[in-house]
Structure 1
Amino acid sequence: MFRNTIRAETGRSANLEEERASPLFVRSVEKAMAVLSAFHQTEGPLTLSEVASRAGLDRSAAQRMVHTMRALGYISRDANGHGYVPGVSILDHTLDFLRLNPLVRQATPVLQELRTTVRERIDLSLFDDLRMVYAVRLQTKRQTFNASIVGHSVPTFCTSGGLAILARLPEDTARDLVARSDRRPFTPNTMTEIDEIMQAVEQTRAQGYALALNQILSGEIAMGFAILDSKGAPVAAIHIAGSLAEWTPEEFRARTAPLGQQAARALSKY
């Protein structure tokens, strides 16, 4: 069975358990975030009972949280009165993250120039353990709703940007990340075996960029280029995506690889 690309898993549970033991950890804040996180995988409004179940809270606690966050604008009733949805105030925090993130600010003009040159979809994704989170998305002629949403995330193990990231990690670290991933396929061609994925990582390491075919979407070809911080650690990736109906892998590689590598070097601090 294949799955839809809605939101990839975060993989932070081990560190979270350690942090929960700290006297500085505020459980009420965790509960409030759990209520907001209840909407991550939903396809529509949630009832109060559904919010409670998804957040792991009893109904009374969920009701208090929802009431408080409705008053603050972080949750609202859906337009048809069928349940609750995230409120508009959440967008204020999205804006804060994007405008205060130095990489996003620096990358935007570089990516705009890259899109003008290659005339294909250009994305900037941020490395977050098991997932890559899109922070900039520049579309071209193929417009789809999911392909334009900032904050959408995809797994690290099978995406072009993720493979580019894995190739910059120590071998044991990369293998551990792949082993911890939910490797259910998105398409009939999605890589799911650890050794197969690590072979693709090794190839990516050798050539300096990743090439992914039919991994997240059937008929899609994508190139990935890692962006490094001042210590040489991978923190983000540039994705260039096209259609196999319009490009052969050889043509796409020849056209985009030099440009993508140049853009990634311009944004890297190492």
Structure 2
Amino acid sequence: MSRPDPLFVQSLAKGLELLEAFEHHPTTMSMNELMEMTGFDRSTTQRMAHTLVSLGYLERGAGGKGFTPGKKILQRTFDYMRSVPLLERATPLVVQLQQDTNERVELSLFNDLFIIFALRRQTKRQTFSSTLVGRQLPTVQTAGGRSIMAHLAPEQAEDIIVRSETMSRRSIPSTPKTTYDSGRIRAYVEQARQDGYAMAAEESLIGELNIAAAILDHRQQPIATIQLAGLTSDWTMESFARQYAPLIMGTARALSGKVGMA
């Protein structure tokens, strides 16, 4: 049995867990719903919620009923975004890529089993939730994630695949075409190693194709990915890759090899 971490603050972790409950329930939640989502008892939930409301990280819902994420969370998002030089360097290139292709462009950060959207330039056809910074998707089911895995050591990529299998048993696929099949994912990653870019068809959104290339740090380790999204009604996988693979790889190279994200 592992020893307890003496530096770990359990009460702080519980407060953050209360905030994270809104990831799967993006509406106003009652005290009972927060208790159900977190597994905390009423006293703990009440004290944590009261503290977070006092600090501005939670707000009361309409008519003072229930709780919703507070605007102060956006301030911490701002703090993070301006602390990552990669995002500042990438912004003009993302803008230019969107103008050159008239397709949605996104830069996502690698976060183990997930990639997290950090910069997005959308077209008018996108849905609201798909345009928001902070959205995360499983690494194994995205072109961006697979482009990153292609630059990891084989044992690191395999570890992500194995742990994602466990996660998939508790999650709902994004679309009917989303795959967690380990054999297929390994094949996609190997193809990305050979090609220098990865592709995915309708695994994140029905009717959408994605092509992506990894951004590497000064140690040649993948830290992010640049991704382009097109419609299956406009492109085949082959024509989309033929048109945009050189452009997406060139943008990734331009952002690679400088420094880490710090």
- Output the TM-score relative to the length of structure 1: 0.89
Q: Deviations over 1:102-142 (max 9, x none)?
A: 11111111111111111100001111111110001110131
Q: How far has the Cα of 1:188 moved from its partner?
A: 3.0
Aligned equivalent of 1:251: 239
Alignment pair present for 1:58 and 2:46? no
Task: Determine which structure has the larger helix proportion and give its number.
Answer: 2
Q: How far has the Cα of 1:24 moved from its partner?
A: 1.6
Q: Deviations over 1:4-50 (max 9, x none)?
A: xxxxxxxxxxxxx97x8322211111111111111110042111122
Q: Which moved more, 1:231-240 or 1:79-88?
A: 79-88
Aligned equivalent of 1:154: 137
Alignment pair present for 1:135 and 2:123? no
Q: Which amino acid aligns with 1:177?
A: I
Aligned equivalent of 2:161: 178
Ranges of 4+ aligned residues in structure 1 off by more than 2 Å: 79-82, 182-192
Q: How far has the Cα of 1:79 moved from its partner?
A: 2.3
Does the CA contact (< 8 Å) of 1:175 and 1:194 recur in 2?
no
Gaps of 5+ in 2: none
Alignment pair present for 1:261 and 2:249? yes
RMSD (Å), alpha carbons: 1.7
Aligned equivalent of 1:239: 227
Q: Which amino acid aligns with 2:216?
A: L
Aligned equivalent of 2:59: 76
Looking at structure 2, the residues matched to 215 and 56 of structure 1 have their Cα atoms a distance apart, in angstroms, of: 32
Of 87, 90, 96, 1:107 maps to: 90
Of 193, 196, 206, 1:205 maps to: 193
Does the CA contact (< 8 Å) of 1:137 and 1:150 recur in 2?
yes
Does the CA contact (< 8 Å) of 1:169 and 1:234 recur in 2?
yes
Of 59, 69, 72, 1:86 maps to: 69
Q: Which amino acid aligns with 1:219?
A: G
Looking at structure 1, the residues matched to 27 and 96 of structure 2 have their Cα atoms a distance apart, in angstroms, of: 37
Alignment pair present for 1:22 and 2:5? yes
Q: How far has the Cα of 1:245 moved from its partner?
A: 0.3
Looking at structure 1, the residues matched to 177 and 157 of structure 2 have their Cα atoms a distance apart, in angstroms, of: 21
Q: How far has the Cα of 1:80 moved from its partner?
A: 4.7
How many residues in Structure 1 have an aligned counterpart in Structure 2?
253
Q: Which moved more, 1:75-84 or 1:164-173?
A: 75-84
2:91 counterpart SS class: helix
Q: How far has the Cα of 1:72 moved from its partner?
A: 1.1
Aligned equivalent of 2:29: 46
Aligned equivalent of 1:8: none
Looking at structure 1, the residues matched to 156 and 40 of structure 2 have their Cα atoms a distance apart, in angstroms, of: 34
Looking at structure 2, the residues matched to 188 and 61 of structure 1 have their Cα atoms a distance apart, in angstroms, of: 39
Q: How far has the Cα of 1:248 moved from its partner?
A: 1.9
Q: How far has the Cα of 1:232 moved from its partner?
A: 1.0
Query: How has the CA–CA distance of structure 1 residues 114 and 149 changed in structure 2, closer, same or farther, with 3 Å as cutoff?
Result: same
Looking at structure 2, the residues matched to 220 and 92 of structure 1 have their Cα atoms a distance apart, in angstroms, of: 32
